[in-house]
Structure 1
């Protein structure tokens, strides 16, 4: 924008300077020529009384003195044909002047000024003064150079002024854009400096009000989620007391996990976006533990549950609780939306460049046509499960992909990014020609 403003000002200034200086240069040239011709005319007319009063010898000396100190040579044509002064040929213009006409005319190399002098016994004498081109254009080149210098100075001045004007316009806009970028990156404390022209100040004020409004809405949303989650503590406490009275260790563990989940929801709802989300975890260990948790239910429903995790560590940039919640969501979807007896596969493998792949596939009917949308479900669920898995994958630097398994069922593949400094999977150890890991290199 700054360069465009400067370019517009330069173009406009150039047009104004050309339209002003070009006619002025032509006027100066015309004035110089008129000045030279007028001077020659005055010199010629001053000799007219001498032509009628002086004898030929005295007139010759006078004309010689005039020519000696003048750049415009003078020639006197007497009626008897005598030529006094600078040699000059008799031209049709001189013949015309002998009839009593005084005028100036352009000839080769300059302008000649002719003055007719009456009152001589033999007829009319003619005084000729020749003004060369050098005299006609004397001082014009210097005047043009001066005009050119003035025009260049004005053009440079206009560029400087336009640049300062553009800076005063662009700097507030850049500040507003930077504040908007910081807001987009999650920095809700970013504010734009209210400066510059009224329109820019209005935009900055509007952006600041928008930032304050976003902060208020997010704070209200976090508090609402935290309050709603906190209300679950009372029924969970009662449920834990009932479970302890039944002395069912598995039920007690389930209730304790639910309490931890609710606490994590409260903490997550209250934390600002962009804060640290926990230490990296070992995806192999977490997925193996969650698969062992769900295996009894698979056996009760006569499902074939295949689990494949690498024997070495697969570090991912996700907290243990987030990854466990993600695995529970994917496995719960399989148990909820596929018929009993449908098998499933859970596979973890190293990802090139660091991180891991988590793939959960089943032998059920697959995902409905048209895809899935957040908050929409046709099977009695909230429709947020896969969105939670997607969020965990994206926050780790990965992605989520939904597809079809080889058996025609559903397939969810999560790409989980590795922690900073990870450079991909470790070297595999081979025993008798077979890799120790049961998982392939990709999803």
Structure 2
């Protein structure tokens, strides 16, 4: 990444220098040449006025005085009516290195002033070298800034990668590192929150395992003893009946303990719920699934009430909606309509398509594991219902043909616990 940052920054700097330096060099070249041309033109006009003045006074033209006044210039003066009609002053430059300007008066005086172009070219080269030096300095500054910036970005990213790897290895301690960069600080905050949540989940899992082993040990021991008594008294029907009834009681107690532990685990899961903005969540799902539907010539449609809020977890709700959209894509047909509504006691998200629906013999068992009528795994809907239940909601099949599923969520402010009426918890 550091090499890419350096190369991209250097490329941008080179492009900027070229875009600015080349026009600047051309402009400097033209400006210097125009200044030299204007200087020659001004000298030719001044010389013409001087020659006119001398002629008006009937004085001779002094070659030495002109050479001293216009050094490094080749002057040609043509004046009618003088003994020497053509007067030249100075050394004539080489033809291809000569810059020339002239002036003509009404009295017939013609003045030509020339200079060597080498001096102008030398001045142009000096300015171009200055521009090249400034460009090299700008590139050096850009490279230095790129190195500093790349270190500032790559070191925090390496640190974040180490933190993420540590989380993956099971060390769920928040790092609380901040880097002074808003985007990276947000990532660090998310990782810290995830670390806290993972730590809480691991703690609750350990507590659940401890509670389960402790609470289940006694009922299982009692059930084992009863079964041993049944085996030992197999030849006495009255004892078998009595011990069997006791074993049933022990089994019911075991079931009650399991239900209690699961209820406790659910209450801990509910403690992690938060207020979820459904509009943003559904928009994200439409963005993710829109291309897949468009590839098969189908479309997604969002209807119902907007700006709804519900209690749950963004990850759980997203997975449930994603599972329903995937089922509609694989097993449904036509337009898939996602409708949101606010009922008396729940926020409802309904996903319906225009396909052939679910067969009558499969509809009652659609939420059972390993049950699928379309060649699937039969795990998607059971897991989706489990996730819905974990957030305190429920997932139901409200219409088999065409298929329509309703996801019931808790309203904001609902502090109660919604009991799952069907399906796995």
TM-score, normalised on structure 1? 0.44
Which structure: greater helix fraction? 2
TM-score by length of 2: 0.45
